[in-house]
Amino acid sequence: MINIIYLDNSATTNITQPVLDAMLPYLTTQYYNPSSLYSPSRKVHNDIEQARETIAKAINAKPNEIYFTSGGSESNNWVISNFLSVLTSNIEHHSILNAPNTFNAIKVNQNGIVDNLDNIEALIRGYTAKLVSVMYVNNEIGTIQPIKQIAEICHKNKVLFHTDAVQAYGSVKIDVKELNVDFLSLSGHKFHAPKYTGILYIKEGKNLLPLIYGGKQEFGKRGGTENVASIIGMAKAMELYNYDIEKTLRVSNMRDKLLNIIQSNVPDIIVNGDMKNKVCGNLNISFKGLEAESLSLQLDMDDICVSAGSACNSGSLDPSHVIKAINVPDEYAYGTIRISINEFNTNEEIEYAGNKIVETINRLRFMNK
């Protein structure tokens, strides 16, 4: 019997055993409210601050620059809600694009890369933007944006810069000082931490209004009792699953093996995104004449999990805004799936999945004749 082959790691990841082990005491014996004054509570409070230090070290930040949130969408919303006019790219996550104060005027090229950097200055002036937000890694096609260069342009024009790095952690190096970003969002469940955990990095000296008024948690910016176990788990995950070149090469090899199986046996496909400038585990392919939903459901019957677009867009039958932005022709766009591999996948899984994908596509195309 074939176990489920999970190839949708951009949607979410599993909590690993070491992460779960780190969390369990705070769900059982160390359940104390970290704001209370007695010694067991003070210990829990100290453990939260130690987690904050671990997380800060992982991205080369200071502990007082790390704010715990419920995830990437909350972190993104916290930042952009503080500005009247926010300039973004046209391939951002919906938590940014759907905000009423964002203008997705920064266009990407056909490979999904922001390459017309000279135009950003003119757009900043045209939209009188006080914040620019461009994601580090796209959640659908995996492309990596020139964040450092964009941040330099913003600061030259006295504008702050935010990046949604939810898809980046563990796949690319994140050094907030080197990137020189003012704000950066992360989401724990993308790197083997629990769901409903996130981080907002706020550069020292930059100020945002409180997100939740109440107690003095998160330096008085986000009131409410902390989600202690999940914070501890997130810190452990960041410690264990940071960017590693050997892991990156192994995942890249599996992705390339899968792509080779498909390209060698299936005609009329488009591989989306810049294969030389994307994260190692991402493979986004458009198949001519197919519907992504039918393909993903057929693969599900073979215990293979892939995504039709992104998890955040799974309820729509239309091609995503990202696929439209890179001008994939309609006859291909409707047949777009995202495959996302990580270090816990195996070569055996990749070979099995590749052969099943080929078999399923050829069967669906035959049925559509």
Region(s) of the chain under CATH 3.40.640.10:
17-240
pTM above 0.85, yes or no: yes
Q: What SS3 class is residue 151?
A: helix
Average pLDDT over residues 237-248: 96
Average pLDDT over residues 320-325: 96
Q: Which candidate, 240, 280, 239, 266, places its Cα nearest to that of 335?
A: 266
What is the third-level CATH fold of 17-240? Answer: Aspartate Aminotransferase; domain 2 (3.40.640)
Contact 337, 241 (CB under 8 A): no
Q: Which candidate, 183, 196, 206, 205, places its Cα nearest to that of 228?
A: 196
Average pLDDT over residues 114-134: 94
Neighbours of 326 (CB within 10 A): 24
Q: What is the pLDDT of residue 1?
A: 45
Q: What is the pLDDT of residue 368?
A: 81
For 5-13+244-368, which CATH superfamily applies? Aspartate Aminotransferase, domain 1 (3.90.1150.10)
- Which residue's entry shows tokens 């591989």? 271
Distances (CA, A) of 332 to 91, 288, 335: 18, 4, 6
Which residue out of 154, 280, 305, 312 is catalytically annotated?
312
Region(s) of the chain under CATH 3.90.1150.10:
5-13+244-368
Q: What is the pLDDT of residue 99?
A: 95
Contact 187, 174 (CB under 8 A): no
Average pLDDT over residues 213-234: 97
Q: Is the pLDDT of residue 313 over 60?
A: no
Average pLDDT over residues 111-136: 95
Q: What percentage of the chain reaches a pLDDT higher than 70? A: 97
Q: What is the pLDDT of residue 3?
A: 87
Average pLDDT over residues 65-89: 98
Average pLDDT over residues 20-48: 97
Average pLDDT over residues 143-166: 98
Measured at the CA of 146, the angle between CA 145 and CA 150, to 5 degrees, comes to 115
Q: Is 154 a catalytic residue?
A: no
